[in-house]
Amino acid sequence: MKYTFDMVKDLRAFRDIDEADFKTLLQTVGAFTKKIKKGGYITLADEEVPCVSVILKGTVHMMSEDIWGNRSILVFMNRGDLFGESFACSSNQVSLVNFYAASDVTALYIPFDKLLSLSANDLGAYRQLVQNIMTLVADKNVRILQKLEIVSKRNLRDKLMAYFSYMAKVWGSMEFDVPLGRVALSEYLCVDRSALTRELSRMQDDGLIEFEKNHFKILAPADSLT
C-alpha cells in the first residue's frame, strides 16, 4: 500500500510539514506501509524494531506476556499514535514487549537509523518531524504513568473507579464510552476477567455506576467512589 500526504496530513507526527517536504523526507529514509489483520502480532518480544511506526488506521495494543500466557495491556494506541519508537531509539533496537493488532491496522514505518543520518541542513522538515516524534513519545509516557497510577490501587473496585475517573476527564463528562472490551479491560487493569465482570455488576447494584456494554455513567459523587 502506498502512503499519500492526504492519509497523514491531520496526524500530529506530521504537523507543520508541507506535502513537498513530507514526500521528500519519507522517500529519502525509505518509509513504507504495512497492513496487519486483526488478531495478528505486529512485533513479538525479542524481535528487532528498526522503525518508528505511525498508525494510519486501527488500534494497536502494547502488551507484556508471561510464560503462562497471562497478558497485560501496557498501553493502547490509535490512529496518529506511534508504536515501537522507544525500542527503535534504543541502543540494541530489540523489543521487550509484544505489539498486537486489536483491529485491522495500517501503519507507516520510518527507519530510525536512516532518519538519524539526516540533518536539518539536508531537509527542512527533518527537525520538525523529530520534534513531533518527541512530543508524541512524551505524551505516551504520560499515559503509561496514568495507567501505573490506576493499577497501583489496592483493590479491583478502586482500580475501576480510578479508570472511570480518568475516562470522565478525557470525555469531560460523567458519561462516556470505554474503548476496551471486557477481556481487554481486564488485561489493561491486570485483573481476572470474571472478577471484573462480577465487580462491575456489584458496582451497578450499589448505585455507583450504570453501564450498557461499553457505555458507562458515573452516578456516585467523588467521595463515594473509593
What is the DSSP secondary structure assignment for residue 119, as one 8-state letter?
A: -
Report helix, strand or coil for 214: coil
Q: Please give the domain boundaries of the chain with CATH numbers for all domains.
A: 5-147 (2.60.120.10), 153-224 (1.10.10.10)
Cα gap 217→126, rounded to integer Å = 44
Its pTM stands at: 0.89
Encode pLDDT of 66-87 as tens digits.
Answer: 888 889 999 999 999 999 999 9
pLDDT at 225: 46
Low-confidence ranges of the chain (pLDDT < 50): 224-226
Which residue reads 518508528 in cell numbers? 52
Give the percent of the chain with pLDDT over 90. 84
Phi, psi of 108 (to 5 degrees): -100, 125
Three cell numbers written together for 225: 467512589
Phi, psi of 137 (to 5 degrees): -60, -45
What one-letter code names the amino acid at 111?
A: P
Assign residue 162 a region (left: φ > 0; alpha: ψ between -120 and 50; beta: otherwise): alpha
pLDDT at 120: 63
Q: Is 55 exposed, middle or buried (0-12, 13-18, 19+ CB in 10 A)?
A: buried
